[in-house]
Amino acid sequence: MIIPFEAASSPSNGTSVKYFLDSNGSFSVELDGPCYVDFEYLVYYETRVSGVVKYGGIDDLKGVKVRRFLIWLDVDAIKVDLPPSQYELVLHFSMSLDSVR
């Protein structure tokens, strides 16, 4: 969850961040503009990213896409294996087909 905020607000791309987190776990992040971050795969963040933080992950995620070959997939949720291993943190991304960009 921290990676999008840090990557989007890094000094190298000059994009500032405004965010909101409600007591029910709903959050939204506003960027100056859309951005791409190259992790293991190319990740696209829209100007507005939102979702619901819950125990073990993020649900109802909107505004994040991952490119696999020529296809962009919406990331709908992020889940964490619980309990986390002593040696690694395993994340599972739930994705759906969006379109070829």
pLDDT in tens, 16-43: 688 899 999 999 999 888 888 887 788 8
Instruction: Quote the pLDDT of residue 21.
Output: 92
List pLDDT tens digits, range 44-92.
999 999 999 998 899 999 999 999 888 899 999 988 887 767 766 666 7
Q: Can you count the helices (H) and strands (E) in the chain?
A: 1, 7
Q: Whole-angstrom Cα distance, residue 89 to residue 101?
A: 31
Q: How many domains does the chain have?
A: 1
Whether the per-residue pLDDT at 7 is higher than 60: the answer is: no
Q: Angle at CA 80, nearest 5°, toward 18 and 100?
A: 65
Amino acid symbol at 43 = V
Answer whether 0.85 is exceeded by the pTM: no
